Amino acid sequence: MSVDARLLTLTQWLSPAYPVGAFAFSHGLEAAVAEGWVTDGASLEGWLRDVLEEGSGRIDAILLGLVSDPEVDVAGIEALARAWQPAAERLREAERQGAAFARVTAEVWDLALPPMVLPVALGRAAGLMGLDRSAVTALYLQAFVGNLVSAAQRLMGLGQTEAQAVLARLAPVCLSVAAEAGGKGAGDLWSNAWASDIAAMRHETQEPRLFQS
């Protein structure tokens, strides 16, 4: 059996071990738990489903696809990606992870990859490496919610089995959002995940806290 080496590259980039510091960010989830909006596995699953289908997950999936073409105006998409961040901490989250990803990836794979917000940096790197856009997007979304499920385990009483069950049930959502994003353009960007955005804003003044967002 032959395995495409590019698949291993992609899984390496999206592994929790890749040094982007994702573990330091909760994407506003810490504030949602503090407010009592997310209290257990069921409410966590609903929260993350909304983020994927109606919020930043959907936006990131579209942005990632837009920059996968090596000929696209990356600077313009980068500016658009920044404009769609609803809170200062959410922008910092995307900036810091993206800068770390770009730095390591550019050095290891010898790519021309300046610091950019994470979905743009990943999409650009994937395009330069000729990786399948649908696979990149789906795995990015799975890694994104996987990090948030891990954060939830540190924020509330969520056991390992329940956490993995939540992540498994969200796998089809990651696939469907990635598939839908494939045919979208910049004019299709929108977000209805208001609670997630409000949580990100509230987290900026939350004390005490474990996460940077």
Residue 205 covered by a domain: no
pLDDT score, position 71:
78
Q: Minimum mean pLDDT among 46-50, 67-71, 143-147: which range?
A: 67-71
What are the CB-based long-range contacts (under 8 Å, 24+) for 15-20?
15/143, 16/143, 16/146, 16/147, 16/150, 18/101, 18/104, 19/100, 19/104, 20/97, 20/98, 20/100, 20/101, 20/104, 20/118
Residue 209 covered by a domain: no
Query: Do 127 and 69 touch, CB atoms closer than 8 A?
Result: yes
Residue that the structure tokens 């730095």 belong to:
103
Query: Do 121 and 141 touch, CB atoms closer than 8 A?
Result: no
pLDDT score, position 154:
95
Residue 86 covered by a domain: yes
pLDDT score, position 172:
98
* pLDDT classification of 183: cutoffs 50, 70, 90: confident
Is the predicted pLDDT of residue 185 greater than 90, yes or no?
A: no
pLDDT score, position 157:
87
Mean pLDDT of the chain: 93
Residue 184 covered by a domain: yes
18: tokens are: 């890749």
Is the predicted pLDDT of residue 116 greater than 90, yes or no?
A: yes
**pLDDT tens digits along 51-91:** 999 999 999 999 999 998 777 889 999 999 999 999 999 99
pLDDT score, position 6:
80
**pLDDT tens digits along 1-10:** 566 778 889 9
pLDDT score, position 186:
87
Residue 206 covered by a domain: no
168: tokens are: 């498994």
Residue 213 covered by a domain: no
pLDDT score, position 150:
96
Range of the domain at 46: 5-199
Query: Chain-centre distance of CA 197, in angstroms?
Result: 14
pLDDT score, position 153:
95
- Count of the separate structural domains present in the chain: 1
Question: What CATH number is attached to the domain comprising 51?
Answer: 1.10.4190.10
Residue 42 covered by a domain: yes
pLDDT score, position 85:
95
* CA dist list (Å): 186 to 50, 112, 115, 182, 192: 20, 24, 21, 12, 16
pLDDT score, position 28:
96
Residue 160 covered by a domain: yes
